[in-house]
Amino acid sequence: MTTTWDGNAMTQTDMMIKDTVLVLDENDNVIGSASKKKSHDFSIENPRGILHRAFSVFMFDEDSGELLLQKRASSKITFPNVWTNTCCSHPLHGMSPPEIDDPSTILTGQTTGVINGAIRKLEHELGIPPSQLRADKFKFLTRFHYWAADTVTHGPDAPWGEHEIDYVLFYLCDKKELTVVPHPDEVDDVKWVSREALVKEMEVGLWSPWFRILANKWLLNEGGWWEDLAKTMAMDPDESILRFDPPAEHMGGKGKAGAWLGTV
């Protein structure tokens, strides 16, 4: 893969073939690379695909505390039509600036690789210019290991799914000064929501399994990260890796994967 990446010049199928994700062991050490297609392929041989690194960005308005959500486009191959956090994607192999972090950086919170990937994808998916983002304003909070078959989209024998160690990044911004122009092949809709509104909204509709894990474990619970954003942005990063099985409806897939990591 070259270091020049242009998401606007690629289709969803192109990115599945050409994007090269970071393959991990269960302790988050990079042990290789694989195409996005191969790593998300749920099969008899690999019931949960291939474990790889990901990031989930949560952008909050610094005045209202509202969170920017996106609805993944209907044209997405994996988990289309679901509401989720601001941006969720993968750091890639062979990029410039580099998107690879060594686990030792977790202790300092200086996860520059995933932040570089986040800035790249915020521009691609939401049209947010890199000039409106500051790398030092991203706050790394924790990582979690999860998997989920895309059975809601593709049925009980779904050939696609996610198996990730996901880096959680918070970012406070002034939404009045933020340019948001969603890419139509990536995002169908966006909205800013309050914590109270999201609690109600998540009672219905389609939501990504990783967002549901995050919301239930850290975001919407009593004393959770969203209750006091100033405190959250000042907290030390968590060096542990928590591990979760998906919600029940995302078990299975082509490889018939079952409970393995535990629940939220």
Closest CA to 30 of 124, 122, 105: 105
Closest CA to 101 of 9, 222, 239: 239
Catalytic-labelled residue, pool 88, 99, 123, 162: 88
Active site (annotated) includes residue 88? yes
Beta strands in the chain (DSSP E): 20-24, 30-35, 52-61, 67-72, 83-84, 87-89, 139-149, 161-173, 187-193, 241-244
Active site (annotated) includes residue 173? no
Catalytic-labelled residue, pool 123, 125, 164, 186: 164
**Token pair of 34, please?**
């694989």
Tell me how far CA of residue 119 lies from CA of 15, 21, 132, in angstroms: 17, 16, 10
The residues that are catalytic are 88, 164
